[in-house]
Chains A and B, each alone.
Chain A
């Protein structure tokens, strides 16, 4: 196992074996907040060093804005043994914090214990030869799942996220990637290249609804792969798995997952530790609308994620937050932000703008102002200037087209 590659990231020229990784972890002296834009491998060594020392760590997507919220760095002296790598990680008492949409000041911060993070990790001899293609940011729940699954079975992780399309196909071919976890949007783009890969045996999608048409297209590109869809939210971590678009609640969770008025509810014991305490009720209502296809065993299909939130390629956008930013801009009197279904990214953020009297604010002005404040997927791409915004009889702005 000493020579086995652990992490390959051609975009930054990194290739590390398991032995080198353990050495690098033991060289980490301080941890606190880690930002994924800096270096994904550094994030990984910091994370494992913190886990080794039962130290809490905060993972953020994107770059540090030098905000006051950054925690102070803690010093530590990891003493990781390669032979005890997974035992050390899986029994760690650390809390791992992640923010949901880490680019704005009001991102929700959720802390997970290893028990939640490893709930669906499978360790077995069958997985020894797996090679993982990493399409997610390491500071995301889905990215962390890939890393933990790979660490648990001493697999190689190949970072595909920042590679150009041709380099990505090369990596999959030359390194013999067998497992890919990705959003449906990533898969849609990947399929458009028209290149097939026989080495891939498992594709996991999550974050958005993967429709039948996409699964059919992906079958043509990955003729030997089985597909499964995963239901996970930042609050609960991974909970349910499906083969296509139907989720069957497993026996061990029958008393922990239920549907209340068409909305999925999850028992508190399955939630991330940091939100368990805030919610006094026994079940946490996820806000995800589901259709019940059978009661025993409970089989459901997701209708739409959180009604008001807009899911852009697996990233959730809060329309209220974007509206608040828009109406605080000079030249805008009122705004309505809503999602529109899209064949590429699932949904796209749209908005209607009412200009202030005499103001001449343009599409480009809005984009330039928002670029400094939020991630690119949050910026409304379809902007319409209107005289007034329609409200519902109760005075609310409509969230549909």
Chain B
């Protein structure tokens, strides 16, 4: 998967998590975006995010511990 593709997949999953909990994204998503500090994700949001990303990429991104940025998430998808 190219980096642009990965970023799109991660962004889509993030938007789905926000949408399903009745929220709107307030910032652009880049590799530096922090899941907790910038997107205000709590543990349940992260739990849903990993379910969505696993469905899209086959990778449980937090299986080896939780990461904090979108870029680190993309690395986890790369490492599969």
Q: Does B24 contact A (CB under 8 A)?
A: no
Q: Which residues of A contact B43 (CB under 8 A)?
A: 185-186, 188-189, 313, 344-345
Q: Contact size class for A? A: 20 to 34
Of A32-40, A76-84, A375-383, the one contacting chain B is A375-383
Q: Does B27 contact A (CB under 8 A)?
A: no
Q: Which residues of A contact B64 (CB under 8 A)?
A: 213
How many B residues touch A, CB cutoff 8 Å? 21
In the assembled complex, how far is the CB of residue A67 from the closest CB belonging to chain B, in whole angstroms? 26
CA distance A368 to B62 in the complex (A): 28
Q: Are B65 and A381 in contact (CB under 8 A)?
A: no
Q: Does A282 contact B (CB under 8 A)?
A: no
Partner of A217, one of B21, B46, B60, B65: B65
**CB closest residue in chain A, given B37:** A165
**CB closest residue in chain B, given A313:** B43
Q: Are A342 and B50 in contact (CB under 8 A)?
A: yes
Given A189-B66, A191-B65, A343-B63, answer yes or no on A364-B47 (Cβ-Cβ < 8 Å). no
Given A189-B66, A191-B65, A193-B68, answer yes or no on A344-B47 (Cβ-Cβ < 8 Å). yes
Q: Does A127 contact B (CB under 8 A)?
A: no
Q: Are A165 and B36 in contact (CB under 8 A)?
A: yes
Instruction: Report A's interface with B, CB cutoff 8 A.
Output: 164-166, 185-186, 188-189, 191-194, 213, 217, 312-313, 340, 342-345, 348, 363-364, 367-368, 376-377, 381-382
Instruction: Report B's interface with A, CB cutoff 8 A.
Output: 20-22, 36-37, 43-44, 46-48, 50-51, 60-68
Q: List 22 A-B contacts (CB under 8 A).
A: A165-B36, A166-B37, A186-B43, A188-B43, A189-B36, A189-B46, A192-B36, A192-B66, A193-B68, A217-B65, A312-B47, A340-B51, A342-B47, A343-B47, A343-B60, A343-B61, A344-B50, A345-B44, A348-B44, A348-B48, A364-B22, A367-B21
